[in-house]
Amino acid sequence: MRTIEIPYGESHFSIRVPCERFDVLSGRKPDPGDNRLTEILHSREFRHYADKKTLCIVNDGTRPTRTRDVIDQGGLDCDYIVATGAHAAPTAEELAYIFGPEFRCKRIQIHDALKSPSSFLGDTARGTPVRFNKAVFRYQRILIIGSVEPHWFAGFSGGRKGLLPGVSAFETIEKNHYLSLSSEATSLKLHGNPVHEDMMEAVRLLDTPILSLNLVIGNDNDTVGAFCGTLEDSLSEAAKLASLCYSADVAQHADIVVACAPFPMDADLYQAQKALVNASRACKVGGLIVLVAQCRNGIGPRAFYDLMTTHGTPEHILAYTKENYKLGYPKAASIAKILLRHQVSVISELPSDQLLAIGLHTMTPVELETSITSVSDDGGTILYIPAASVTVPRTSTPTT
């Protein structure tokens, strides 16, 4: 037996696991030469976007982007807007995580998809009405600081997501995210992905010059790659590195997959769902997925939880989503699909009755250790994914 530490919030817990039949899945380490952040921050182009004439769009507290490093090392003197999309406004603790403890000294706006005044730019070919926060139009230049990780329906995060959904009106986000119901809207895929292509068409309607800085964050929460340029080019280059860092081959599907949603992507169940989606790629049909996510902010958006609790079986949830789409429903539908194929238990701060109401079961670290030992003793296999929200398993065989 050996002891491993399982990340949980900003801390961890330890369990004893067998030395055999227990595998750990993580992405590959990149070439150190991919991290050009210091060079970029001192470039003439970047310095041109570092003053008060620039609006700097930054991620909210649910992303691992090392925004503070860029601000401090780049000497930025911009106005900032937090690209919450349809998420809740960041807490004081999350603002400190994004900007540092002196965040109150900075000029920061918080986007609100429902309340922030917006301006209409037109419709995309897929019918998305493009409305961005009016603050976007008050500046001569826009700098977007993002991080690129696999995204379960946009292909990758980063770049254009600073604008859509980042600072978009609710109706814009909802219409764009409806495209996530397509089978082509999947992780690691940009070309032919309707969500991504609709986002790119939307941001091209904006005339303001944009510089996009995309970071790739490693498993140790350090910056392993930095790419700066146009929205399209910087995302394309960052996505190549992210594909290497965040995907890994799996020889066989496991009986138990332990999937950790790492901080800060474990804020609520709505965000932690990404870890479930990735874990399902590596789990046998009928197998057990154990989601480890603190969920310190609870379940997430009301529409997401209401759909899970009001429409009974996973089959009914899937049928209702197709006929009565709302923002938040695709995540509920994705969990419903997983429940049709796998058992799901959760180690979190969520009440057991709340989890049970949506078909999930509460588990403790002691129970996890017991389950792993029992399955291993019976000849089963266990796969542990320490950063499951951003690690995409690749399998050569169909799920069995």
What 3-state DSSP class applies to 110? strand
What is the rounded average pLDDT for all residues in the chain? 93
- In angstroms, rounded to a whole number, what is the distance separating the alpha carbons of residues 371 and 35? 41
Is residue 219 within 8 A of residue 179, CB to CB? The reply is no
Residues 6+ apart with CB under 8 A from 72: 100
Average pLDDT score over residue span 89-101:
93
**Which tens digit of pLDDT belongs to each residue from 10-47?**
999 999 999 889 999 988 877 766 678 999 999 999 99
pLDDT of residue 397: 63
Domain ranges of the chain: 2-26+251-395, 32-245
The listed range with the strongest mean pLDDT (73-77, 224-228, 256-260) is: 256-260
- Residue 21, helix vs strand vs coil: coil
User: Residue 204: pLDDT above 70?
Assistant: yes
Section 336-356 average pLDDT = 96
Coil, strand or helix: which one is 126?
coil
Tell me the whole-structure pTM to 2 decimals.
0.87
Give the model confidence (pLDDT) of 282-324 as tens digits: 999 999 999 999 999 999 988 888 999 988 789 999 999 888 8
Superfamily of domain 2-26+251-395: LarA, C-terminal domain (3.90.226.30)
May I ask the CATH architecture of the domain 32-245? Answer: 3-Layer(aba) Sandwich (3.40)
pLDDT band, residue 399 (cuts 50/70/90): low
